[in-house]
Amino acid sequence: MTRVASFEIECIGFIDAEGKATGDLPDFAADRDVLVELYRWMVLTRTFDAKAIALQRTGRLGTYASTLGQEAVSVGLAHAMAPDDVLLPSFREHGAQLVRGVTMTELFVYWGGDERGSDFAGPRQDFPVCIPVGGHAPHAAGAALAFKLRDEKRVAVCVFGDGATSKGDVYEAMNVAGVWTLPAVFIANNNQWAISVPRRAQTAARTLAQKAVAAGFPGLQVDGNDVVAVRDAVAGALDRARAGDGPTLIEAITYRLGDHTTVDDASRYRDDETVGRHWKEEPIVRLRKYLTASHGWTKQDEETLIETCRSDVEAAAEAYLAMAPAPVEGIFDNLYAELPAELREQRQAMLAEGD
């Protein structure tokens, strides 16, 4: 019996649920402005989220997936990225998309059921959200391969949920990223639930980070409610990728505080008590406490921020609601670069039919 390989999974965190530093913070976190920026993005994300739910409840938005409680993962990872890196988000990374430069109006437009919402004016090469769970992981490998082949120092950042780690396409994508040493970062946003299926029913693996062992590259855990830890871990993985050392899998441990989507009723499968416990760990309060204690964040600062976020969100919502409807021709006109002759008649028929 010979030992031929051994592996270890580590977990990192810097600011605990009480808002206390548990050790030395990474360099970037010494800068108050950076911390405030991270905080602002998280608050904006939460404000946006609440508005989206309100719009859905009043019939002005389609089914929507709330990111409540997961803001640190989303904001932290995107904040670590360089502008010309590429984000491949799941359907719950509104925070990351906002940090990347997707506008709130675009997000409303998409979730309002209009393709124009995925035609981002800002990050032109970021991928649209991926509804089929995990289906974007192979795209991330492809994008990373494109960067590697062109010798660009860019990284493809792919985010998916705990449930997605059970999917074969995610595994295949991670495996090829490993063997081709691709500049990719995979982030498992472990919010403990895949709709009603809890994390423990998804896999016997003790951590999701260890899924990387099968693909032959490093995996690590991070406290996903600590935005400093998320940003730090992702920055490290991005550096590794940019240096040509290949991919990393980061499991960010957080909790889905809301329903799965606006058509879900989480009370069918989990109790309020458990959720209540997790409210004590959520990412925004802890960073506020830390800012207050260490950087003189005041009540006034807080109120100003909340008010700015609120009015920004309202403005975006109004822009969304005021938008002219999409031209119906878009159904045909974006299908191919050039509409094949045989479809011209169908297009005509559609237009003739009217609304």
Partner 1 sequence: MAAVKQKNKRKRPKRDAEAAGLTLVDAINRALARAMEEDETVIVLGEDVGIDGGVFRVTDGLIARFGDQRVLDTPLSETLIGGLPVGLAAMGFRPVAEIQFMGFIYPVIDQIVNHASRMRTRTRGRLTCPMVLRAPYGGGIHAPEHHSESMEAMFAHVPGIKLVIPSSPARAYGLMLAAIRDPDPVIFLEPKRIYRAVREPVSDDGKALPLGKCFVSRKGADLTLVSWGAMLKESMEAAAALADERVEAEVIDVASLKPLDMGTILASVEKTGRCMIVHEAPLTGGFGAEIAARLAGEGLMSLLAPVERVAGWDTVMPLPRLEHRYMPSVRRILGAARRLLEHG
Ligand X SMILES: Cc1ncc(C[n+]2csc(CCOP(=O)(O)OP(=O)(O)O)c2C)c(N)n1
Which residues are designated catalytic?
256, 260, 269
Question: Which of 201, 351 has the CB closer to a second copy?
Answer: 201
CB-based contacts of 145-148 (< 8 A; 24+ apart in sequence): 145/180, 145/182, 147/183, 148/180, 148/181, 148/182, 148/183
Instruction: Give yes or no for residue 162 binding ligand X (CB under 6 A).
Output: yes
Shortest Cβ 161–ligand X spacing (Å):
2
Shortest Cβ 21–partner 1 spacing (Å):
36
C-alpha closest to that of 281 among 191, 166, 183: 191
Stretch that binds ligand X, among 35-43, 81-89, 187-195, 282-290 (CB under 6 A): 187-195
Choosing among Mg ion, ligand X, a second copy, none, which partner's interface includes residue 246 (Cβ < 5 to 8 Å by kind)? a second copy
Question: Which of 51, 94 has the CB closer to ligand X?
Answer: 94
C-alpha closest to that of 274 among 295, 252, 257, 291: 257
Question: Which of 47, 66 has the CB closer to ligand X?
Answer: 66
**Binding ligand X by CB under 6 A: which of 30, 131, 321, 351?**
131
Shortest Cβ 35–a second copy spacing (Å):
21
Residue linked to tokens 């691709």: 182
Choosing among Mg ion, a second copy, ligand X, none, which partner's interface includes residue 203 (Cβ < 5 to 8 Å by kind)? a second copy
Per-position x/- string for 223-262, each x denoting binding to ligand X as judged by CB under 6 A, each - no binding: ---------------------------------x---x--
Shortest Cβ 237–a second copy spacing (Å):
15
Strands 184-190 and 193-194, by their bridges, are unpaired
Cβ contact 20:50 at 8 Å: no
Cβ contact 251:10 at 8 Å: no
Choosing among a second copy, ligand X, partner 1, none, which partner's interface includes residue 256 (Cβ < 5 to 8 Å by kind)? ligand X
**Binding site residues, a second copy, CB under 8 A:** 1-12, 166-172, 175-176, 178-179, 181, 200-207, 209-217, 221, 246
Shortest Cβ 155–ligand X spacing (Å):
22
Instruction: Give yes or no for residue 133 binding ligand X (CB under 6 A).
Output: yes
Cβ contact 80:238 at 8 Å: yes
For the residues of 109-144, what is the DSSP string, one character each? HHHTT-GGGGS-SSSTTSPPP--STTTTHHHHHHHH
Shortest Cβ 165–ligand X spacing (Å):
7
Question: How many other β-carbons are positioned within 10 Å of the β-carbon of residue 220?
Answer: 21
Instruction: Give yes or no for residue 89 binding Mg ion (CB under 5 A).
Output: no
Instruction: Give yes or no for residue 187 binding ligand X (CB under 6 A).
Output: no
| Burial track 5-28 (b if 16+ CB lie within 10 A, e otherwise) | eeeebeebbbbbbebeeeeebeee
Choosing among Mg ion, ligand X, a second copy, none, which partner's interface includes residue 74 (Cβ < 5 to 8 Å by kind)? none
C-alpha closest to that of 118 among 127, 70, 96, 77: 127
Structural tokens at position 136: 């974007």
Among residue numbers 153 through 212, which ones bind Mg ion (CB under 5 A)?
161-162, 191, 193-194
Instruction: Give yes or no for residue 201 binding ligand X (CB under 6 A).
Output: no
Calpha distance 252→208 (Å, rounded): 9
Interface with ligand X by CB under 6 A: which residues? 90, 92, 131-133, 160-164, 191, 193-195, 256, 260
